[in-house]
Amino acid sequence: MSDDIKPGEQLTLAQINKLRNQVRTAPVSQVGNQAGGSDESWRLRTDGPTVSEYVAAGYKASNYPPKGYESRSSAEEIAEALKLEQEAPETDTLKMKVPELKEWLTGRGIDFDASAKKEDLLALVPKE
């Protein structure tokens, strides 16, 4: 088998793995020059936020790390942030299920018919 890769040719798994290993082991300057950029142009930035800083800024933990940035948080910190995101109660009344919406209305002292449908309950939500 020839290791030469020809344009338009479908790569074998062995060829793909060989290319991946070459990229992983290539010196930084070689990779940067091959990519046509500066030696550092391909690297992820390391000055991004931690997952807790990212979430505190209003972003979802499921979108961490931001594109182009390396993670500064441990896998455990990210897992905890994702768990908290999944367990967080819904705050958008349009996305709430009927029982959540009824609880939300009750918490704000808004009366409603117990048999009301979601559309009727949403009509009771004050415009903010």
Same domain, 104 and 127: yes
Q: What is the pLDDT of residues 65-77, one digit of tens each?
A: 999 999 999 999 9
The model's pLDDT over 79-111, given as tens digits with 9 standing for 90+, comes to: 999 999 888 777 788 888 999 999 999 999 999
Q: Are 66 and 49 in contact (CB under 8 A)?
A: yes
Q: Is the Cα dihedral 108, 97, 120, 123 positive or negative?
A: positive
Domains: count for the chain: 3
4 in any annotated domain: no
Same domain, 35 and 63: no
Confidence (pLDDT) at 26: 64
What number of H helices and E strands is found in the chain? 6, 0
Tell me if 97 is assigned to some domain: yes
pLDDT at 14: 83
Burial class of residue 104, CB neighbours in 10 A (0-12, 13-18, 19+): middle
Tell me the pTM: 0.47
Comparison of pLDDT for 97 and 26, the residue scoring more: 97
Report the b/e string of 9-35 with b at 16+ CB within 10 A: eeeeeebeeeeeeeeeeeeeeebbeee
Give residue 119's domain range.
Answer: 89-128
Answer yes or no: is 127 within a domain.
yes
pLDDT at 13 over 50: yes
